[in-house]
Amino acid sequence: MDESLILQVKQRYNIVGNCEALNRAIEIALKIAPVDLSVLVTGENGVGKEIFPRIIHDHSLRKGKKYFAVNCGAIPEGTIDSELFGHEKGAFTGAIDQREGYFAAANGGTLFLDEVGELPLQTQARLLRVLETGEYIRVGSSEVRKTNVRIVAATNVNMEKAIAEGKFREDLYYRLNTISISVPALRDRGDDAALLFRKFALDMSERYKMPPVRLTEDAVRLLVAYPWKGNVRQLKNLTENMSVTAEKREIDAETLRTYLPADSFHNQLVAVNETPREHSFETEREILYKILFDLRRDVSELKRIVREQNLTQPSSLGARTESHNLVFGTHPADNFEKEEEDAFWEAEEVKEELAEQTPKKTTEEVLTPVGRSLEEVECEMIRRALAEHNGRRKQAADSLGISERTLYRKIKEYQLENE
Ligand SMILES: Nc1ncnc2c1ncn2[C@@H]1O[C@H](COP(=O)(O)OP(=O)(O)OP(=O)(O)O)[C@@H](O)[C@H]1O
Ligand SMILES: [Mg+2]
């Protein structure tokens, strides 16, 4: 499809985003708009489903006719039939007049049934009948009426699950789902989150006549990596909130983090600290990996020296196997998962290699960490890194492969502040 057509639709309906899956969803909407079949728009909450029925209607042969949007989830179960199909005077208490429902009002046009997964089962049966025959009966009437309405429905409910649980009719699902459009979650849209942020920030700045909030590079990284369970709606609310309440217009990752729910604290930290070339280590386990890998490097270096000096003295390294486990607690193979096991066996291999060619004294020097508690090793590593970088914490953290934040925490924990 002509890309300029998709671009036009984005401009007309204020849709921001460039990701492939979003473009594909718009493309499908445009393609199927003139084909007079039912459509089901699916996607998590807040992804932007509600614009699609409008796009479909506006590009269909029904565009000059009525378009109604009904939120099935917002209408009480007792009145939904009457809202959709109408009722006769006196059909139920309070029915003082007869009323035509949406199916009559939208005749010739399009009816958007939002949150269709919330429809009660008896309404589902009525809906299936209209979809199959174009016929319906008002509540309290026995007269069969005809209508010609195109249905576009939307849901954020897992329909397969709803069917399995007996909450949604399978036959109706297939009928509604003749064509489906899946709107992608924000977390799968790459840089679109940053584009959307800029759009919402600009909207707010125009509305409140103030400069828009901007994100620093690390904040953009965090924004793009954040999982956005509430999708575009959550991002929009956050941007609006931030536009009004932030003290400074430039928002860094730390400030952005204060606007994000606390439960994903860890994700955010990783996101901020991660750059394509660098890895951050947030947990003791990861620090431990680093010690092991550094150890391996040292051992290779040691092997080189040994070879150079042509030393042949046998070693007694085997005796140190038990002390190795002190660092790990119990035997690692008991409770480590695959990756951890790999790291452990790698260390074992290193020790075996050492045992073959290394004199005891040199080995002990290299293996200083082994036999001491993890805390001691960690504390020593931090102390050395700080000394090496003249107390500059950023550089020390980088050289340790941990975030500055973790380093601060460790310095406090080991009371290294005043050293
Ligand atoms: N691509 C987008 N560009 C600009 N704004 C968007 C985009 N997608 C969604 N929005 C905005 O995000 C908000 C949520 O969108 P919408 O109401 O369509 O979500 P939804 O998919 O219907 O969610 P729910 O299932 O919870 O009803 C709206 O204010 C909408 O304008
Ligand atoms: Mg909605």
Same domain assignment for residues 306 and 357? yes
The last residue of a domain, from among 136, 162, 184 = 184
Same domain assignment for residues 19 and 164? yes
Same domain assignment for residues 126 and 233? no
Tens digits of per-residue pLDDT, 81-128? 999 999 999 888 888 898 999 999 999 999 999 999 999 999 999 999
CATH number at residue 244: 1.10.8.60
State residue 320's pLDDT score: 35
Mutate to test the pocket of ligand 1, among 13, 47, 229, 234 (most ligand atoms within 8 A of CB): 47
Mean pLDDT, to the nearest integer, of 43-49? Answer: 97
Same domain assignment for residues 155 and 193? no
**CA 83 centroid distance within chain:** 37
Same domain assignment for residues 212 and 332? no
156 lines ligand 1 (CB under 6 A): yes
Under 8 Å between Cβ of 253 and 272? yes
The last residue of a domain, from among 160, 184, 208 = 184
86 lines ligand 1 (CB under 6 A): no
184 lines ligand 1 (CB under 6 A): no
Same domain assignment for residues 300 and 269? no
State residue 192's pLDDT score: 97
pLDDT band at 3 (very low <50, low <70, confident <90, very high): confident
* Ligand 1, atom 31, residue with closest C-alpha: 48
Same domain assignment for residues 331 and 368? yes
Same domain assignment for residues 176 and 35? yes
Same domain assignment for residues 29 and 124? yes
Domain count, the chain: 3
Q: Does residue 85 sit within a domain?
A: yes
Q: Does residue 253 sit within a domain?
A: yes
State residue 13's pLDDT score: 98
- Which atom of ligand 1 sits closest to the CA of residue 51? 18
How buried is 73 (Cβ within 10 angstroms: 0-12 exposed, 13-18 middle, 19+ buried)? middle
240 lines ligand 1 (CB under 6 A): no
* Ligand 1, atom 30, residue with closest C-alpha: 48
Tens digits of per-residue pLDDT, 361-414? 333 333 333 445 667 777 888 888 888 888 888 888 887 778 788 888 888 888
Mean pLDDT, to the nearest integer, of 283-309? Answer: 59
Nearest bound ligand to the CA of residue 229: 1
Same domain assignment for residues 200 and 242? yes
Q: Does residue 418 sit within a domain?
A: no
Residue type, 235: L
- Which atom of ligand 1 sits closest to the CA of residue 48? 18
Same domain assignment for residues 293 and 395? yes
Closest of 71, 78, 167 to residue 111, by C-alpha: 71
17 lines ligand 1 (CB under 6 A): yes
Q: Does residue 419 sit within a domain?
A: no
10 lines ligand 1 (CB under 6 A): no
Check whether 261 has a pLDDT greater than 70.
yes
State residue 374's pLDDT score: 64
46 lines ligand 1 (CB under 6 A): yes
236 lines ligand 1 (CB under 6 A): yes
Mutate to test the pocket of ligand 1, among 50, 71, 195 (most ligand atoms within 8 A of CB): 50
pLDDT band at 354 (very low <50, low <70, confident <90, very high): very low
Q: Does residue 141 sit within a domain?
A: yes
Q: Does residue 171 sit within a domain?
A: yes
State residue 394's pLDDT score: 84
53 lines ligand 1 (CB under 6 A): no
Q: Does residue 113 sit within a domain?
A: yes
* Ligand 1, atom 8, residue with closest C-alpha: 48
50 lines ligand 1 (CB under 6 A): yes
186 lines ligand 1 (CB under 6 A): no
The last residue of a domain, from among 246, 273, 300 = 273
**CA 117 centroid distance within chain:** 23
pTM: 0.66
**CA pair distance 136, 128, nearest whole angstrom:** 10
320 lines ligand 1 (CB under 6 A): no
* Ligand 1, atom 12, residue with closest C-alpha: 233
Q: Does residue 80 sit within a domain?
A: yes
Same domain assignment for residues 32 and 180? yes
Mutate to test the pocket of ligand 1, among 232, 236, 237 (most ligand atoms within 8 A of CB): 232
Domain that holds residue 38: 3-184
195 lines ligand 1 (CB under 6 A): no
**CA pair distance 105, 130, nearest whole angstrom:** 14
- Which atom of ligand 1 sits closest to the CA of residue 50? 18
- Which atom of ligand 1 sits closest to the CA of residue 49? 21
